[in-house]
A and B are shown apart, each in its own frame.
Chain A
Amino acid sequence: MKELVNLIEEIVELCYQQKKAEAYEKINLFINEIVKAIVELPESKVVEINGILQNILSAMEENDIVAVADLLEYELKEKLV
């Protein structure tokens, strides 16, 4: 989980700096890793995390890279620590 949190911090910095290509590359990596990691979490938490991940995907579709960073940093991170 600690690695995922570190990865979030890297992604947030890239998103706030509008480095979209690098950010999206790391987001792909993050999603692959979190899917593997959440199987160990209680189901209620998994539901919450999935909801946030859905919102992140919507923000990506909307091309709103700052919203992606916000959701990762202020909604998802606290669920992982």
Chain B
Amino acid sequence: MASTAVAEAPRPAGFRFGRAARRYGWTVAVYALLALLMVITIAIKPDYGSFEWNTLTLAALPLAFAAVAQTMVVLSGGIDLSVGPLMALANVLALRAMLGHDLNYSLVVALIVLLEVTLAGALNGAIIVVTRVPDIVITLATSFIWAGLALLVLAKPTPGIPLDFQNLAQGSTFSPWVPNALLVLLVIPLVWIPLRRSRAGLAIYAVGSDRNAAFRSGVNLGWSRLLAYAVCGFFAACGGLALSMTTGVGTPLAGTYYTLSGVSAIVLGGVSLAGGRGGMLGPVAAAYILSLIPAVLIYLGIDPNYGQMIQGVLIVIVVMIGGLGVVLRRA
């Protein structure tokens, strides 16, 4: 468990294959699975082109942010069942304020929304830290609050996100194979890499992997957990804005799907729900895999209603294989 924290310290010379395999094996496997799925997709649909690729990146963008937001909290040893409603809140706040304005105005709105929903995430964390009620209970309850607020802001799905703002994610400015939706994902490393390398980021891993050890090493548990929830709120806000950009619509009820699928994505992405283990690369790839499945079904001419079922079965199989590994190693 503590190996994550140790790995940040200068390593003795010599590359240890076993440890590298343990640390990165799952991530590599997830990317291999994604690549395999892409190959299958292209085999099924030989005319798979930049348009389809663009569609995939658009579908995966909000989910990728949902997964990354959840990862943040799970790394700190918690769980946030209000990620989806937070996204919905950001989404409708953006629509309400942007309606009928130009790009510059929209960008300012986007910044304010990011700030507001980050604060909402921080509030989740603050309540958990102060009341000492288990995170699953608090975020379950606050998911009602954020979802209710989203409904107050906007009673029903409404289109009207300014086109210029939508195009930040929808077009492909540089090359048809590098859609903007892929570039928007760069927000993740821009925030995550400095955070992970900082003391605060290391503290989040430490708290997630062993709370007592972290406390005795002088880590401020309360602030670290609060920070994790705040950053989770920030990424959830990104997800909500991504939803605005990719759909152009404000949907107050988008929440539930993204909470559950976000958790699915991080599990598939190799983040341990026990905390302290995992990164951001796996969950993002998993978000792509989960978004690719319905598309593949459509190409195969299968009812896309099977999508949810297959997503569930895939997760069950993946976690069972993971669990089996643990059981066998113990035996």
A, B in one complex: no
Binding site for B on A (CB under 8 A): none
